[in-house]
Amino acid sequence: MRLWKSWALARKDMKILRRRKSLVGGLLVIPVLLGIGLPAILEYVITKKGAQSSVVVDLLGAFAYFFVLLSVVLPLYISSYSIVGEKLERSIEPLLATPTSDEEILLGKYIGVFIPVLIAIWLGTAIFMIMADAFSSASLGYYYYPNQSFGIIVLIAVPLACLYAISFSVFVSAKVNSAQTAYQLGVLTAVPFFILYVLGELGIVSLVSDLNILIISAALLVMAVVMFFISRATFKREEILTSWK
Amino acid sequence: MPMIEVSGLTKKFGQITAVDSLTFSVDEGEVFGLLGPNGAGKTTTVRMLCCLISRTSGTAKLGDLDISHRSETMKIRKMIGIVHDNVGLYETLTAYENLEFYGQMYEAPRDLVKGNIKEYLEMLDLWDQRDRRVVSFSKGMKQKVAVARALIHDPQILFFDEPTANLDPEASKVIRDLILKLKGEGRTIFLNTHNLDEAQRTCDRIGILKTKLIAVDTTKNLENAFARKVTAIVLASLNDSILNAVESRNPKRVTVEGNTIRIELEDPDRDTPSVVSAISGAGGQIKSVKEEGVSLEGVSLEDVYLSIMRRGQN
Ligand SMILES: Nc1ncnc2c1ncn2[C@@H]1O[C@H](COP(=O)(O)OP(=O)(O)O)[C@@H](O)[C@H]1O
Ligand SMILES: [Mg+2]
């Protein structure tokens, strides 16, 4: 596998993404809203409800998990277009005719979604940390962010959650012919994370535990790698070309 | 030396046989035309030769590479250029960006890619438009970019799948001229077309396809076989009884111009003597008898099929 070929494909995909203003807007809006909205809730709870610092800390811990959830959902938004988009533009045939291997194409597709999504989510988390600190430091007496737990989430769990979601939706979009179907099937990948969230709320699983986050991350990594190999094994050029009329 | 050698190549989609045991070969430097109507199996054949879809049976070699050897697929992809039946360009990218990207995907050296982009875009009259997004291009312009894309890595073998379908005559001519230029450079060219005239103008040899290969021959021989042949007979004078005598021989068509009768016969070699004797019998004084070839222009693919089918039955 030649990484430079995947990179060439990813750069092409990112260039196309940058030129589609509506996609870029859609990519940025949720992380930014989350980055602003979650601290706004915090501000409300502190000033209007006079929350204790222990409540503030609990809330901050719970908010962090939202960025993991976002990392599972947001990639679908672009990667649904990834291979389906090439099918729609009919550029898939010339692409498949080039001397590029299945793995190189798949990896290129992964990278082309991974980088812009990660940038968008990190932008959201940066806004979140700054605003959360600004609102909470007075009542806590210290700056809550940055800290180790959030570092683990942002630097490990978020990228791996993205990778996991991308691996699923690239697999799906190689099989279906509409971005909408790819998106809808892709949303299923988020289900386990919502279940985890509910379990966390019920106090069955702690989502503020670093160890648990690391375990979840490891599971995500394993699933992404498994999905990559399944995608590769089921990547049938002929099927991609001829099931499309 | 054959550059493309196809033997027994067959493709079935489920119950449908799209391409049925094709056997033919294309020499290096030759322009080979695969001529057939919609649904004849032209695209399917090219896709098999380009390792884009699998074969049901049979095989083919490009140079010394075998399409049935998986390990040779990448080498085959590198040595061929394809103008697909759909342009399939990235519409939000510019012409230049599209070509640059494919230069990378074909692993061509940067300098070669730059040089080829300039050379072909200039040749195709698109150099000034290179930084415009393809979305704003006309159909003809897009097709020209697709042609340049096929040439970006200097492939030895080129496949053109109906490159002038639905293009205006001017763009069609530019593309045909380029095909002839590429032939002049010694490249091997495989041209799919449903246009008899186009095949006649560009191809050295033509295979006529309708799921099966009905005929393969040089363009010259096919022309001889299918061009309408007209026998021109110049007479000292002309009258109705002479014309009636000609009509009695059941010609396909008769036109009269001054003292010249032009007669289209089923088979001039066979029928001319009897027409001549009929004219003499009616008192006509023949000054000269000449055979005039009429080009394939105006002859439809259907005529060719019908005529081949008829011969097959004889
Ligand atoms: N993916 C496919 N599935 C089923 N039938 C197909 C498929 N692709 C082509 N065919 C059939 O194979 C035949 C040949 O098609 P094609 O090669 O596209 O012809 P042409 O390029 O000469 O117009 C047609 O009858 C077409 O319907
Ligand atoms: Mg076709």
Alpha carbon of A84: minimum distance to chain B alpha carbons (Å): 13
Which chain A positions have a beta carbon within 8 Å of B78's beta carbon? Answer: 99
- Pull the structure tokens for residue A192: 């386990």
- Pull the structure tokens for residue A8: 């060439």
- Torsion B239-B245-B246-B252 (CA) sign: positive
Nearest CA to ligand 1 atom 5: B13
* Closest residue in chain A to residue B78, using alpha carbons only: A99
Please say whether the beta carbons of B178 and B150 come within 8 A. Answer: no
- The number of the ligand 1 atom at minimal distance from the alpha carbon of B161 is 21
Please say whether the beta carbons of B229 and B196 come within 8 A. Answer: no
CA pair distance B50, B157, nearest whole angstrom: 10
Chain A, residues 6-25, CB within 8 A of chain B, namely 8-9, 12, 15-16, 19-20
Spell out which residues line ligand 1, taking CB within 6 angstroms: A 242; B 13, 16, 18, 36, 38-44
Class of B2-223 in CATH: alpha beta
Cα B13 off chain centre by: 25
Edge-to-edge strands of the sheet including B80-83? Answer: B80-83, B157-161, B188-193, B31-35, B205-210, B212-218
CA pair distance B16, A239, nearest whole angstrom: 16
Please say whether the beta carbons of A223 and A193 come within 8 A. Answer: no
Nearest CA to ligand 1 atom 2: A242
Q: For chain B, what is the radius of gyration of the CA atoms?
A: 24
Query: What does the pLDDT profile of chain B (314 residues) look like in tens digits?
Result: 899 999 999 999 999 999 999 999 999 999 999 999 899 999 999 999 999 999 999 999 999 999 999 999 999 999 999 999 999 999 999 999 999 999 999 999 999 999 999 999 999 999 999 999 999 999 999 999 999 999 999 999 999 999 999 899 999 999 999 999 999 999 999 999 998 889 988 999 999 999 999 889 998 887 777 766 788 899 999 888 999 988 888 888 888 988 999 888 777 778 888 899 999 999 899 999 988 766 555 666 667 766 776 665 55
Class of B227-295 in CATH: alpha beta
For residues A21-30, b (16+ Cβ closer than 10 Å) or e, as one string? eebeeebbeb
Nearest CA to ligand 1 atom 16: B41
Cα B70 off chain centre by: 30
What are the domain boundaries of chain B?
Answer: 2-223, 227-295
Cis ω for the linkage preceding A116 (within 30 of 0): no
Q: B186: left (phi > 0), else alpha (psi -120 to 50), else beta?
A: left
CA pair distance B145, B120, nearest whole angstrom: 9
Alpha carbon of B92: minimum distance to chain A alpha carbons (Å): 6
Which chain B positions have a beta carbon within 8 Å of A92's beta carbon? Answer: 88
ipTM score of complex: 0.90
Does B153 touch chain A if contact means CB atoms closer than 8 Å? no
